[in-house]
Structure 1
Amino acid sequence: MSSVADILDTIQARSPVFSILETLWTAGFQAFLAGGAVRDALLGIAPADVDILTNALPADLSRLFADQDSKYVGKSFAVTLVNKVEVASCRPPDKKAVDAGHTFPATDLGRRDLTINSMAWDPETRALADPFGGQADIENKTIRFTRDPFDRIEEDPVRMVRACRFAARFGFKIEPDAFDAIRAHAHKITAQGIADRIQLEVVKAMGMDKPSGFFHLLHDTGLLARILPSLDRCYDLDGGPHHGETVFEHNLMVGDALPASMPILRLAGFLHDTGKVDALEIKDGRNTFPEHQKFTRAMMADLGRLRFSRKDMDYIYALVRGHMRPLKADTSPKAVRRLLAMLDDLNLSYQDFLRMRIADKKGNLNPVKKPYCLGDIRLRLGKILDALNEQTPFNINNLDISGRDIQQILDLPQGPAIGKVKAFLFEQVLEDPSLNQKKILEDLVRQMSQKHFTDSDGKAIK
């Protein structure tokens, strides 16, 4: 316990944690370090977040910390942020704990989700309150619900997803009774009002070393079919002649290969080939998936149901739509310019495009397919940078001629015809960036005007 005590003593000494504890003790209340901080300390991890558990009520906290940065944020249970530290007021006592003769904090800990999260540390007595065997479960690498798993899930279905996330994060096994309870209650994960919290669990999972373990557990428990059915349906779908793994495995390998510091990019990796189910065609007895990047409806429906922001959804959509665009050693400068124009249209950076391409290449068990080496990456990056240095406009609105200029030359009103001319000019500039000069573009408009914008009688189309 000495190393655990050292870690928790360090937490306690942090400002403002110690001052909050001292204020509560001085006022006659009990106060403990609880939940994740204690769990992580027992695992030998320095906790990132600190939670304080107290028998003081929210009104008491409001009074005690009136002159400090405090805010009541409780929803499912009472939490007050005091100088950005979560201070949880005790919930209605766990009846079974009361009947067993337990007192606070055990009466509160009995309401928590998992045994590994249902421990508290008393900084005054340096004693661990562990009424439900959380420490033993950590030693045995087991995820178990606090008390009856069916009761815990009935209280909050999101606890099923949390059990999978913690099991994947720490490499633990879900205890058989808990696993069976999750499978029996998996349908309840679609309950009203919890989509935002499920989304948060999914995003948190992206910060793991390998989130693939999380998705495997979601699939095995039956949760994935209800949370991300677009991904779940890829299970056991053969990846075709270019892959040595299933589509499900490929998605998971690509997601694992993307950076944990970019959770939404990483989630896109886990979803990037979910459209293959809808694109599936069988040729010569083998699965093929022509233009699968365009089949995004199922994926977008999942993201919308989980209440992802429009910004995040658009970003994932752009990554999926753009990930198949080729960029090879022999890709011509003209093709690179068209690639960058596509990325501009998708509002996607070339850096994120390359991250996805590198991960996509890596996620393949076909022995013929090799991941990019550093030289391959440098070559492709060089091609992009060369195109950018040409100062080519990659957006139609960056042409060195305006719609008003085109109207005046052609004597046409504002309308679709002007857009068609700009699109034509944009194509010419992508072919040859040196054409993006106002005088040259004006001459091109004049040269094409009679051919493209007159009717059969030679009259200008208005």
Structure 2
Amino acid sequence: MLVPRELGFLERADVDFEVWPEAMALGRRFAQEGYELALVGGPVRDMLLHRRSHDLDFCSSARPEQFEPILRHWGRDGFWDMGRKFGTLGAMRRRDDGTLVKVEVTTYRSDVYDPSSRKPEVNYGHSLEGDLSRRDFTVNSMALCVPDLRFVDPFGGAADLAKGVLRTPVDPRQSFEDDPLRMMRAIRFVAQLGFTIAPDTAVAISDMKDRITIVSAERVRDELTKMLLTDRPRAGIESLVDSGLADIVLPEIPALRLQIDEHHRHKDIFEHTMTVLERAIALETDDEGPVPGPDLTLRLAALLHDIGKPRTRRFEPGGKVSFHHHDAVGAKMTRKRMRALHFDHHLIDDVSFLVDMHLRFHGYVDEPWTDSAVRRYVKDSGPLYERLNRLTRADATTQNRRKAMMFSTAMDELEQRVRDLREKEDLAAIRPDLDGTEIIAILGIEPGPLVGKAYRHMLDYRLDHGPVDHDAAVGELNRWWSEQTEG
């Protein structure tokens, strides 16, 4: 039998139906030239899980210069060789249905690692089994040789896949010594696949967590991003914290586990954050909605929205606990951490803004806003309006049903008022009724700081009163100017 029946995989007569036709065709070309070719890693794992991938990874007995002509001929829609020094070439072709299939082929490798770096000294290997031994986890150390469909599983990856266990094919300490990023990958697979980490592997991660410091910020960021975009990011975050890796790569999150005093005067902030993350994800929309999921901006904001609380916690008279200005403090901390992880500047700005604004709506619950305040809320939130509302809703985790109902009703009311105002005016593009050129002409002044000051006043007037006709706007500008000149 070629593959484990306990995983529900098809028997040989049906395997060709399951296996990508591109893999079979490429395997036949390699075999004709006398070379071995095997599908490896994630595509094999996903095949056993009945999941499809359009990015196929292969390894081969052939050297790059030997299989390059085959790959160039196959890849009628693209070819690349950026990984040539690592023995990797890639190509892609489009199916008749328009689907783009990408493949990468790598020569069997037997790498040697420098302890001070995760970059290996690339050495070509001589066997498929040897190549599989250098991979991160047993569930990624399986191969399917094509075109003969011989299943190769020297480290029991299929059994681990069936049990949902992450285990390294060699001693975990050696594996993480060679490439510390594998520790982050383990956390990501917890979230992505719903797996648990084998006890010896988990101990090795905790003991060797400091090794992650030799990994570039970009690589750590990419793993965090992939984890957050899975269906179960909470499991990944909890595993990241439990392993101790979060203390190094995202220390603001384990810091949320504040000691709760015997009177439980404030809720567990870490647990609250995990709940907010899950609630925010549940509020994402489909592709046609305003916040299509998975949305990295919203998920990061949900994860980081309360990181300012540990720094701002104060025990007040009467047994109360306060976290004054934790939104502003948290926004600064968010910006600093995301910069350290080399996130995109626009994403940093958006997430920091959401953290800073996540309490803005709470005043509406106590006293409904004027139309002016509603306009300002929409104007200030700009393109992040829908995400801000979802973060605000997700953050309302009170167990008091009356308070929860009041909050939800108030948010519903605000959103309806915004819809009503939008029918009358474009809230997202509010501008003063007079532009800079008109202000200069009416006041008879030269371009400079005074024009900017007048413009800001007219914008405030527009937000307070809504659109007015030209004469009313001119009258307001002249009134304001008189006050300035009299002063």
- What does residue 432 of structure 2 align with? 399
How far did 1:340 drift?
0.9
> Are 2:320 and 1:313 equivalent residues in the alignment?
no
TM-score by length of 2: 0.82
After superposition, the Cα gap between the structure-2 partners of 1:370 and 1:242, relative to the gap in structure 1 and judged at 3 Å, is farther
- What does residue 98 of structure 2 align with? none
Residue correspondences, number? 440
After superposition, the Cα gap between the structure-2 partners of 1:144 and 1:395, relative to the gap in structure 1 and judged at 3 Å, is same
How far did 1:334 drift?
2.6
After superposition, the Cα gap between the structure-2 partners of 1:332 and 1:10, relative to the gap in structure 1 and judged at 3 Å, is farther
> Are 2:32 and 1:9 equivalent residues in the alignment?
no
- What does residue 178 of structure 2 align with? 155
Report SS of the residue matched to 2:9. Answer: helix
- What does residue 88 of structure 1 align with? 105
Identity %: 26
Question: Which deviates the most, 294-303 or 404-413?
Answer: 404-413
Is contact 2:108–2:126 with CA below 8 Å preserved after alignment?
A: no
Aligned-residue Cα RMSD (Å) equals 3.0
Q: Which aligned pairs between 1:355-374 and structure 2 lie closer than 5 A? A: 355-361=390-396, 363-364=397-398, 369-370=403-404
Match of 2:245 among 220, 223, 244: 223
- What does residue 296 of structure 2 align with? 263
Report SS of the residue matched to 1:349. Answer: helix
- What does residue 39 of structure 2 align with? 33
**Residue identity in the other structure for 2:196:** K
Is contact 1:406–1:418 with CA below 8 Å preserved after alignment?
A: yes
How far did 1:186 drift?
0.9
- What does residue 19 of structure 1 align with? 25
How far did 1:216 drift?
0.9
CA deviations on 1:198-218 (whole Å, 9 max, x unpaired) are 111111112322211111111
Q: Which aligned pairs between 1:47-446 and structure 2 lie closer than 5 A? A: 47=53, 49-67=55-73, 68=75, 69-74=78-83, 77-83=86-92, 84-93=101-110, 104-192=127-215, 194-236=216-258, 245-257=267-279, 258=281, 259=284, 260-284=293-317, 285-295=319-329, 296-326=331-361, 327-328=364-365, 330-344=368-382, 348-361=383-396, 363-364=397-398, 369-370=403-404, 378-391=412-425, 398-435=431-468, 437-446=469-478
Question: Which deviates the most, 154-163 or 85-94?
Answer: 85-94
Is contact 2:378–2:427 with CA below 8 Å preserved after alignment?
A: no
Is contact 2:37–2:61 with CA below 8 Å preserved after alignment?
A: yes
Report SS of the residue matched to 2:324. Answer: coil
- What does residue 447 of structure 1 align with? 479
Query: 1:147 & 1:342 partners in 2: Cα distance?
Result: 54
Question: Which deviates the most, 151-160 or 247-256?
Answer: 247-256
How far did 1:4 drift?
2.1
Query: 2:400 & 2:248 partners in 1: Cα distance?
Result: 31
TM-score by length of 1: 0.86
Is contact 2:24–2:146 with CA below 8 Å preserved after alignment?
A: no
After superposition, the Cα gap between the structure-2 partners of 1:426 and 1:20, relative to the gap in structure 1 and judged at 3 Å, is same
Query: 2:214 & 2:413 partners in 1: Cα distance?
Result: 50
Query: 1:76 & 1:388 partners in 2: Cα distance?
Result: 57
Query: 2:406 & 2:82 partners in 1: Cα distance?
Result: 47
After superposition, the Cα gap between the structure-2 partners of 1:278 and 1:371, relative to the gap in structure 1 and judged at 3 Å, is farther
CA deviations on 1:25-80 (whole Å, 9 max, x unpaired) are 22221111211122223334344643222222222332222343211232894432
After superposition, the Cα gap between the structure-2 partners of 1:378 and 1:17, relative to the gap in structure 1 and judged at 3 Å, is farther
After superposition, the Cα gap between the structure-2 partners of 1:386 and 1:94, relative to the gap in structure 1 and judged at 3 Å, is same
Query: 2:273 & 2:15 partners in 1: Cα distance?
Result: 39
Query: 2:394 & 2:273 partners in 1: Cα distance?
Result: 10
Is contact 2:54–2:102 with CA below 8 Å preserved after alignment?
A: no
Is contact 2:40–2:143 with CA below 8 Å preserved after alignment?
A: yes
After superposition, the Cα gap between the structure-2 partners of 1:175 and 1:49, relative to the gap in structure 1 and judged at 3 Å, is same
**Residue identity in the other structure for 2:211:** K
